[in-house]
């Protein structure tokens, strides 16, 4: 073989090697994202009917919305309380990760509305009951306590230091749950990918409304201490999820790195607006369409939404319902009443504003509903817009709010939704999430 040919082959090999290193650096990871009411979830209760599960999810939505709004208000009041960065612990999805060397599997609540990842640890002064073994820092080779001078220690919020220069954390949630302990770094394993020196909370005193099948929180928010921000260099600042319908027998998926790149001719994207708290993913809602009739969102001057730079709604995987500003909701309700031919009935639970009797055919026809974000028009799936809340009654899953707007997970279902924290945007691609790999 000629010398020039050998050189060419050598250079080509180098290119592939470099390409492989870069691919691994931003390598793709995809994990199951388990809805708490799925038969695959350890929280699943076979004795509950479908309607009871839905009722519980709706109730959690209202509790979570109140807590998220409280977080927003406290953060922007300048009180400096550590509670200003925290919200309801009641998430809707669970994910498994492993920590330590050797690795120990934990099942955490995957929460886009929280930053800090924490799990219960030995020794435990007061812990809620859990089925998984408690994480023991003494049984791993890679655990290190986080010092008070560490940059990530200050990112936790209010923390205390003891004589050992140990960074302590203290978090409380809107439902009076709490966790206190020490901050440490440890090796995290997500799928087949290993990430060293990830900061997390090792909880020694934890209590509240936690279920025994969960061991803590996996923080997917936008703050510096979140697992997404900490793994930024490895995953390229990207994560995504694809949520299946509630009645699906297939788990939803969450992806990081290369697998989280959302592309295709039908992709629409909208900017993430930087506001306080940085945990939340603020988007700008411009209006809603019913069929061909577009309803513009006009903010009241006294409304928190009336702030420069947009960012008047958050997108949250942990809230089931979508909460719209009262004025926009009223316009939406009126447009739907005019467009839908059916027998309107009262919601027996008193939760929803607009309900109809389900025809004997089982088919309920509604016009297309499009949510208009800045730069992105999103036609939500009809199966999530009106849901049968009791036998023979379907209700609109948009609800009014006079204080805080949330784009909930029902209207995110069957979209591959990508979060790009480098370019600060959220992308949506219509997808059959039951077939997502």
CA proximity to 112, closest of 211, 17, 33, 204: 33
Please give the Cα distance from 188 to 219 (Å, whole number).
13
Whether the Cβ atoms of residue 99 and residue 200 lie closer than 8 Å to each other:
yes
User: Which residues, in sequence order, are bridge partners of residue 183?
Assistant: 201
Half-sphere exposure of 436 (CA within 13 A, CB side): 31
Range 326-332, long-range pairs (CB < 8 A, 24+ positions): 326/400, 326/401, 326/402, 327/297, 327/298, 327/300, 328/285, 328/287, 328/288, 328/295, 328/297, 329/353, 329/398, 329/399, 329/400, 329/401, 330/400, 331/288, 331/295, 332/288, 332/290, 332/295, 332/369, 332/398
**How many angstroms separate the most distant Cα atoms in the chain?**
84
Dihedral class, residue 330 (left if φ above 0, else alpha if ψ from -120 to 50, else beta): alpha
Is there a contact between 312 and 284 (Cβ–Cβ < 8 Å)? yes
Distance CA 378, CA 65 (A): 22
Q: Using an 8 Å Cβ cutoff, are 312 and 327 in contact? A: no
Give the angle 255-427-173 at the CA atoms, nearest 5°: 65
- Catalytic residue selected from 115, 316, 331, 420: 316
Catalytic residue, candidates 111, 115, 331, 420: 111
Nearest CA-CA partner of 252 in 437, 61, 44: 437
Residue whose tokens read 């999103």: 378
Tokens of residue 107, six digits:
């099942």
Contact 95, 32 (CB under 8 A): yes
Q: Is 316 marked active-site? A: yes
Q: Show the tokens assigned to 165.
A: 């220069």
d(CA 340, CA 45): 35
Tokens 């509903």: give the residue: 369
What are the φ and ψ backbone dihedral angles of 317, each rounded to 5 degrees? -80, -15
Sign of CA dihedral 112, 247, 95, 108: positive
Cα–Cα distance, 183 to 202 (Å, whole number): 6
Active site residue 224: no
Q: Which residues are catalytic?
A: 111, 316
């Amino acid at each position: 073989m000629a010398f020039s040919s050998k050189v060419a082959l050598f250079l080509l090999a180098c290119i592939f090697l470099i390409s492989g290193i870069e691919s691994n650096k931003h390598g793709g990871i995809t994990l199951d994202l388990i809805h708490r009411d799925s038969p695959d979830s350890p929280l699943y209760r076979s004795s509950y009917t479908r309607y009871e599960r839905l009722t519980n999810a709706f109730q959690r939505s209202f509790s979570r919305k109140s807590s998220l709004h409280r977080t927003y208000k406290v953060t922007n009041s300048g009180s400096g309380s550590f509670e200003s960065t925290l919200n309801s612990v009641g998430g809707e999805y669970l994910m498994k990760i492993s920590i330590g060397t050797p690795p120990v599997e934990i099942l955490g609540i995957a929460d886009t509305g929280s930053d800090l990842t924490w799990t219960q640890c030995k020794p435990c002064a007061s812990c809620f009951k859990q089925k998984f073994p408690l994480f023991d820092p003494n049984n791993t080779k890679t655990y290190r306590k986080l010092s008070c001078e560490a940059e990530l220690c200050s990112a936790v919020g209010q923390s205390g230091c003891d004589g050992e220069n140990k960074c302590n954390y203290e978090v409380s949630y809107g439902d009076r749950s709490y966790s206190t302990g020490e901050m440490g770094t440890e090796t995290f394993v997500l799928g087949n990918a290993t990430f060293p020196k990830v900061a997390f909370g090792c909880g020694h005193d934890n209590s509240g409304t936690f279920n025994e099948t969960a061991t803590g929180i996996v923080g997917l928010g936008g703050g510096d201490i979140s697992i997404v921000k900490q793994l930024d260099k490895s995953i390229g600042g990207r994560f995504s999820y694809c949520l299946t319908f509630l009645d699906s027998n297939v788990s939803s998926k969450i992806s990081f790195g290369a697998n989280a790149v959302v592309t295709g001719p039908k992709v629409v994207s909208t900017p993430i607006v930087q506001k306080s708290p940085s945990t939340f993913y603020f988007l700008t809602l411009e209006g809603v369409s019913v069929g061909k009739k577009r309803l513009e969102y006009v903010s009241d001057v006294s409304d928190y939404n009336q702030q420069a730079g947009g960012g008047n709604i958050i997108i949250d995987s942990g809230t089931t319902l979508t909460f719209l500003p009262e004025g926009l909701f009223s316009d939406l309700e009126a447009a739907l009443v005019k467009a839908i031919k059916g027998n309107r009935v009262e919601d027996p639970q008193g939760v929803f504003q607009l309900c109809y009797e389900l025809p004997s055919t089982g088919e309920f026809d509604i016009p297309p509903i499009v949510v208009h974000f800045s730069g992105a028009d999103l036609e939500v799936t009809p199966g999530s817009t009106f849901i049968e809340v009791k036998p023979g009654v379907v209700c609109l899953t948009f609800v009014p709010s006079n204080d805080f707007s949330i784009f909930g997970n029902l209207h995110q279902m069957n979209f591959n939704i990508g979060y790009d924290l480098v370019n600060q945007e959220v992308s949506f691609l219509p997808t059959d999430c039951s077939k997502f790999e």
